[in-house]
């Protein structure tokens, strides 16, 4: 009996996922089905600001988002107050981090080290919707966190930023060293 119920639930979940994918594609809310962007020898042009354009199918994208949310939510200690995001590209981190985080400090994976207007807008909108802590917009490259003091941050997160850093001639290895520098002991 329980096995039959499991298979029924699994079938229902699969049907629900397919239906959601089709509705989102029809409404053009999701661009996961967009063809890959043309590339040059150095980087993709134009760079999209949302991870929906990663060239993944919708199911893979949703799985990636679910895993990102689960990792941020479950691995960030509730006692943490300050979080730095390496390579901020959109407002997703505001939704993923626990509400106990009082301050989110941004850094950019762009070549000039500045957050785009779109990124600032998305962060502001997500912060207002969620009524989260303070988002501190800092124009600093992800591999040089000059605006963050040593051992002053509880948590450092990065959501799909390593490739963008590489495309922007930033060093993801140096960004990991910077993360270690700004983290509090035991962070």
Structure tokens at 112: 């000039």
Closest CA to 92 of 159, 165, 161, 20: 159
Cα–Cα distances (Å) from 15 to 2, 19, 22, 27, in that order, read: 20, 6, 11, 18
pLDDT at 184: 92
Q: What is the mean pLDDT of each run of 10 residues along the chain (187 residues)?
A: 54 66 57 50 49 66 82 86 86 82 86 84 82 82 88 88 82 87 88
The verdict on domain 34-182 having CATH code 3.40.50.150 is yes
pLDDT at 130: 77
pLDDT at 45: 47
Closest CA to 68 of 41, 33, 93, 39: 93
Closest CA to 33 of 14, 18, 47, 54: 54
The answer to whether 132 and 103 have CB atoms below 8 angstroms apart is: no
- The domain segmentation of the chain, as residue ranges, is 1-30, 34-182
pLDDT at 133: 77
Q: Give the pTM.
A: 0.65
Distance CA 102, CA 124 (A): 15
Distance CA 12, CA 161 (A): 35
pLDDT at 44: 47
């Amino acid at each position: 009996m329980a096995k039959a119920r499991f298979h029924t639930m699994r079938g229902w979940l699969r049907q629900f996922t397919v239906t959601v994918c089709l509705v989102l594609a029809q409404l053009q809310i999701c661009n996961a089905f967009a063809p890959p962007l043309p590339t040059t020898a150095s980087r993709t042009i134009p760079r999209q600001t949302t991870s929906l354009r990663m060239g993944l199918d919708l199911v893979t994208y949703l799985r990636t988002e679910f895993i990102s949310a689960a990792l941020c939510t479950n691995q960030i200690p509730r006692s943490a107050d300050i979080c730095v995001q390496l390579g901020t590209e959109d407002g997703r981190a505001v939704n993923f981090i626990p509400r106990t985080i009082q301050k989110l400090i941004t850094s950019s994976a762009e070549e000039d080290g500045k957050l785009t207007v779109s990124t600032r807008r998305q962060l502001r909108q997500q912060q207002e919707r969620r009524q989260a802590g303070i988002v501190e917009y800092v124009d600093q490259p992800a591999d040089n966190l000059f605006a963050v003091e040593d051992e002053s941050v509880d948590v450092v997160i990065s959501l799909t930023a390593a490739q963008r850093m590489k495309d922007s001639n930033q060093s993801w290895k140096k960004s990991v060293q910077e993360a270690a520098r700004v983290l509090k002991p035991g962070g």
